[in-house]
Amino acid sequence: MSLNEAETRARLVDPKLKAAGWTDREVNREFWYSTNYLYAPGKILLVGDKARRGKPKRVDYLLRYTDGFPIAVVEAEPEGSPPEAGLEQAKRYAQDLGLAFAYATNGHRILEYDFFTHTSRELTAFPTPKELWERWTLNTGLQQPTPGSLREAPAVYGLPVSGNPLLHPYCPEDRCGKRPHYFQERAVREVILRIMRGQKRILLTMATGTGKTFVALQIVWKLLKSKWLQQRHPERPARVLFLADRVVLRNQAYNTFSPFSTGDSEPRYLIEGEPLSLNRDLYFGIYQTLWSPTEDGRRLYEKFPPDFFDLVIIDECHRSGWGTWREILEHFGSAIHLGMTATPKQDENVDTYAYFCAEEPEIAIDPQDPSRGTWRPPAFQYSLGQGIEDGFLATYKVHRVRTTLDANGLRLEDAIEQGADVFIPEDVEPREIYTTPQFEREITVPDRTRAMVKHLAGLLRRFGPMEKTMVFCVDMEHARLVARLLQDEFGPETGLDNYAVPIVSEEGEEALRWLEAFADSTKKAPVVATTAELLSTGVDVPSCRNIVFMKTISSPVLFKQIIGRGSRLDPATDKYWFRIIDFTGATRLFDQWDRPPGPPPEVPKGPFTARLEGVVVHAHTKELLVGASVSVRMGPNIQQGPIRTDGEGRFVFERLPGGTLTVIVRAPRFAQRELRVDALADETVFVEVSLKPETKSARKIRVEGLQVTIADEAIFTIDATGQQLSLTEYQAYTRQRVRQHAPTLSDLRGIWVDSNRRRRFLEDLRNVSIHPELLAEVEGNTEADAFDLLAHIAFGAPVRTRGERATAFLNREQAFLRRHRAEAREVILELLDKYRAGGIEQLEPEIFGVSPFREWGGAVKLSRWFEGLDGLRMALKEMRERLYPIWEVKQ
């Protein structure tokens, strides 16, 4: 008899691995394998408000060349199965883990798939660790660089583990609190591989909540602790700069890098102004501080020598900009620049991708459609969708709401006719109609905000008024109003003076205290934080259950950042999913979630013989503006300048391509301006740029005294399509799907009383996002029998509760009860109580394994009271049929 899979692994596969030099002991930290390696916990599946895990992702063997470097997977099949049966699965695991070698074996035959050559072959033995490492280094260009490849690769082959950052161990779990997940290992490996090849610009794209800063810690740990970075200049230590655009993000990174600190030394340094310390290893700063002028007229970043840093990590690099902040990056241009962002390539961050991905190989956007062109991808990407699929990020459900104003728009004439008070500032020209994008930006309608808050308060009371909630508002004024209204709603009943707070600035001690308390899962309040922009990136609030949109969002990048605020898991508060409550249609941007990038924009082509001259003037006085900053953008990340206007307010750019150029002009106390200019080859174009002084934003129209109600609500999401439906639409959808299986009520009853058919039917419904228990919850009738709910929706039948059906059974089926002996009647009555509590699924043979039937002796003993097991099964079948009598469904 052939061995099963477990026996095959223990008796055949393990010995072959050990014979090749792999060990099952982690003690040596080299050349070892882990068995049953679970690399993803499984997607969180949601029905109603109940979450459960889907199937985890697990590989039979993960081979590690060192503790810090996985290199291959092995999938074992039972001895009697051919190894081909497991090869595709092994390849999928290897692709997930980013590994180049996959093996499938039945203990006798061994198949290898090599992702470098894209071929398979049969082996008589597993390769040794040294053989695999040599093949990996050869194929990745680390052993013998290919002529013309990325710079000159250093000779790393033969380096001891301690000197090779790829092979160096990760930061120990007892120091940094956790081990990297599989996708974090991939990110670390891809970045270090590029650094060792000599690449200077690298990009990581990882969804919010997937640990970009932790990945940065592990990269720096390996580079510094292996001393690889210092080998480039043995005369001085290696140094790293972590750049952010906000103090709170800088401080989070500083804290994440605390494992580098010991009782004897503190290598970390917060850049906060002069005097600067130049004898640390790890520096943390924000652009604004580094850009600030010093007493001698230089910028603070200029106080660092240009070659001071070996590695600059740019957090949320899509926000770094390519004007002012670009000068900081250019000052440290000799350093390796590692950009980190949560957003895939979009039109609005094309400069970011062009800068950081310039050294990446060019690949097809869509291998199946060459006409779509090519692009240069990041070193590694891990999307929110993949994070949810793997189970590392919380899943979500959407609750979409529209007010009557958002559904129909607002005409000022109609508002006046309805008796509303309309206030129009003198300098404002009213629109004919106002729609969602203009509300609270151009026109303030407090009644709309009150209707939204009133409805949100009702939802929070239903869902749980103490669940942490972020509300994204249009501006600070709007955020303060929403916070006040929510405080008035919940303050009296919770007794909290800070139930809802506006966090509209990270400056000031009170705002910082609110932010820290809101982010702390152990703090009861604040419960709700309203904001305009501050909470859109970087702030970790793992316990946040509700993300509320009261502002219009048009940017997919910003939308992703905001959604990321809810995507973190928080086992401490049992948070595995979150709600998106959308009053403004922001969730339409889900359509663009993980699409591949569009064709790359064209790079300008020569000849570069055009010339641009110009002058910058005050728009009102025509006074020449001296020292204004002028740049010319010719394409994504292709820019000349900024330069300053001379003493006559003039500027000149030469060696420009023909075609449309973008001129960007800034001056202190003036509004920035961008304008398009058509340049011509071999000619000079002159342009006058007028800058208007900065003014306070125009006052808004105000409308009060309107009647605003909720027009519609969509609370159901169809997983397969992402379609969002209102209750009425979901009922129609359910009706259609049920009738596809059961054209008549009698057909539905026939399916329902047949155990196998009912289970297949319910599984089919769940596969298309129809859940009777969820319908019962939303309809407010959790006691309703699932059959009756579906019959009511599909055929208009009356809704009965399980209690009503059980009572009717007792009144109607006395003859059935008298047919059985006293002990059997007691079992039937207990089964009826089980049905009252849980429905028809309680009337299946599995029920006899639970209390009290288990204590009564289980199915075998109970069957004696029914004249055998067949009699017991027949009694169950009769109960199911008699609970749903045939005469009820006759048409």
DSSP for 656-718 reads EPSEEEEEEEE-TTB--EEEEEEE-TT-EEEEEEEEPBP-PPPPPEEEES----EEEEEEEEE
As a whole number, the mean pLDDT across the chain is 87
Widest pairwise Cα distance in the chain: 110
- What are the start-end ranges of the H helices in 81-236? 84-97, 129-139, 173-176, 182-197, 212-225
Nearest to 315 by CA among 441, 440, 206: 206
Contact 377, 668 (CB under 8 A): no
pLDDT at 77: 94
Q: One-letter amino acid identity for 385? A: G
C-alpha span between 610 and 778 (Å, rounded): 66
pLDDT at 157: 38
pLDDT at 874: 92
Q: Taking each helix axis as running N to C, give the angle between helix 247-256 and helix 212-225, from 0 to 180 degrees, rounded to the nearest 10.
A: 50
What is the signed CA dihedral for 224, 225, 228, 233, rounded to 10 degrees?
Answer: 60
Full-prediction pTM beyond 0.95?
A: no
C-alpha span between 90 and 76 (Å, rounded): 9
Contacts made by residues 804-809, CB under 8 angstroms, sequence distance 24+: 805/835, 805/883, 805/884, 806/832, 806/833, 806/835, 806/836, 806/883, 809/879, 809/882, 809/883
Which tokens hold the place of 124? Answer: 């008589």
Contact 651, 630 (CB under 8 A): yes
Residues in a beta bridge with 38: 58
Q: How far is CA 658 from each of CA 538, 561, 689, rounded to the nearest angstrom?
A: 41, 37, 20
Q: Is the dihedral of CA 259, 262, 265, 270 positive or negative?
A: positive
C-alpha span between 727 and 723 (Å, rounded): 13
Contact 358, 228 (CB under 8 A): no
Q: Low-confidence residues of the chain, pLDDT below 70?
A: 1, 27-28, 47-49, 143-162, 318-325, 345-349, 505-509, 534-539, 591-603, 636-637, 696-698, 717-724, 777-780, 890-891
Nearest to 618 by CA among 676, 696, 663, 671: 671
Nearest to 795 by CA among 739, 873, 751: 739
pLDDT at 99: 95
